[in-house]
Amino acid sequence: MILAPLAGITNLPFRLVCRRGGAGLVWAEMISSKALHFQDRRTKDMTVFHGEEHPVAAQIFGRDPFEMAEAARFVQDRGADIVDINMGCPVKKILKSGSGVQLMREPELARSIVGEVVRAVQLPVTVKFRLGWSDEEINFLPLGRVFQSEGAAGLVLHPRTRMQGFTGAARWEAIAELAKAVRIPVIGSGDVSDGEEAARMLTSTGCAGVMVGRGALGKPWIFETMHAYIKGSKVGNSGSFRPELVQMHIQLLLEHLPGRRSVGHLRKHLAWYSKGFAGGSALRREINGLLEPLEIVKAAEDFFQFPA
Ligand SMILES: Cc1cc2nc3c(=O)[nH]c(=O)nc-3n(C[C@H](O)[C@H](O)[C@H](O)COP(=O)(O)O)c2cc1C
């Protein structure tokens, strides 16, 4: 049960909270190999890992095999346990730079990046990719085999095309096809948000791990719930609210993002945590008007009535 990489979200505080919520492996948000090459401080800050979050995968993106190898060595030195290569991001800015899912259209370059990264580090290297660019250009199977022969230790498939973005259903049958086609572990990503779905993805695809992204927002305890469900526990499918995890998350955001840097994250996560609560929309309106982190925390404490 694995936390998916989510840009702007799976930073250190959220990864620690998800570990505490039962995630067996957490994925850090993608980082630019070019920015690391130019010693960008904010990007370097994104490669700080905490003793309690291991195992953690660091995901790098870029299109220059040598910069990617350099970035891989950097995250290895910083203590990551896995280096993951992003070949799935469909965001315009990333595509313009020629990276993300664009690399699936340049199989020779994609192969060379995986080979260079594998040779650069001792860590296991994985690739996270999609079905292909469009329904007319589906190439995850041949690419997956190529990455395996270049030494990739595992693959993560988000079974949608670039053209689909995040729309339509994730085509889990493709995860099953990939798992059959390669010897290395395949992790499935897409549309899992409760125990029943996690169990179904495992059994219907034969994948080695289930990755959860959007389903963990406001529910970092979902990983434990999914484990319990799969082990046959009858207690619920989507888990119940864990105030101590919300409190821990707030504290970690305040500690790791000093000054007003925590404000956006506090607003975002408290909005997710308060979903479904009576009065949740009033809380969201209130905190959107507050500029000081401690004022937002006070509003959240009044709302959730955390136990002392
Ligand atoms: C806000 C957001 C940010 C994402 N950022 C990344 C990223 O940095 N790297 C990546 O490989 N995938 C990224 N993804 C894709 C997810 O990791 C995942 O594959 C996808 O959301 C499908 O899984 P889900 O249905 O569990 O969310 C992102 C998705 C969302 C919604």
Query: How far is ligand 1, taken at its centre, from the CA of residue 302, in Å?
Result: 32
Report yes or no: 170 and 205 within 8 Å, Cβ to Cβ.
no
Best residue among 1, 3, 6 to mutate for probing ligand 1, ranked by most atoms within 8 Å of CB:
6
- Select from 71, 53, 46 the least CA-distant residue to 61: 71
Ligand 1 pocket residues where CB is under 6 Å = 4-7, 29-30, 59, 86, 88-89, 128, 158, 189-192, 212-215
Could you identify the atom of ligand 1 that is nearest to the CA of residue 128? 11
Report yes or no: 51 and 79 within 8 Å, Cβ to Cβ.
no
Query: How far is ligand 1, taken at its centre, from the CA of residue 190, in Å?
Result: 8
Query: How far is ligand 1, taken at its centre, from the CA of residue 133, in Å?
Result: 16
CA 178 – CA 188 distance, rounded (Å)? 10
CA 95 – CA 37 distance, rounded (Å)? 19
Closest C-alpha to ligand 1, atom 10: 5
Count the Cβ atoms, other than its own, within 10 Å of residue 49: 19
Closest C-alpha to ligand 1, atom 28: 6
Which pairing describes strands 209-212 and 2-3: parallel, antiparallel, or unpaired? Answer: parallel
Report yes or no: 88 and 130 within 8 Å, Cβ to Cβ.
yes
Closest C-alpha to ligand 1, atom 14: 6
Active site residues: 89
Report yes or no: 131 and 138 within 8 Å, Cβ to Cβ.
yes
List beta partners, residue 126: 84, 154
Which pairing describes strands 56-61 and 31-32: parallel, antiparallel, or unpaired? Answer: parallel
Report yes or no: 255 and 247 within 8 Å, Cβ to Cβ.
no
- From residue 26, alpha-carbon distances to 58, 79, 226 in Å are 9, 14, 15
Per-residue pLDDT of the chain (308 residues; tens, 9 = 90+): 999 999 999 999 999 999 999 999 999 999 999 999 999 999 999 999 999 999 999 999 999 999 999 999 999 999 999 999 999 999 999 999 999 999 999 999 999 999 999 999 999 999 999 999 999 999 999 999 999 999 999 999 999 999 999 999 999 999 999 999 999 999 999 999 999 999 999 999 999 999 999 999 999 999 999 999 999 876 667 778 999 999 999 999 999 999 999 999 999 999 999 999 999 999 999 999 999 999 999 999 999 998 87
Best residue among 43, 86, 214 to mutate for probing ligand 1, ranked by most atoms within 8 Å of CB:
214
Query: How far is ligand 1, taken at its centre, from the CA of residue 63, in Å?
Result: 19
CA 18 – CA 2 distance, rounded (Å)? 9
Query: How far is ligand 1, taken at its centre, from the CA of residue 4, in Å?
Result: 6
Calculate the CA 36 to chain-centre distance: 20
Q: Which domains does the chain have, with CATH numbers?
A: 2-230 (3.20.20.70), 243-304 (no CATH)
CA 6 – CA 185 distance, rounded (Å)? 21
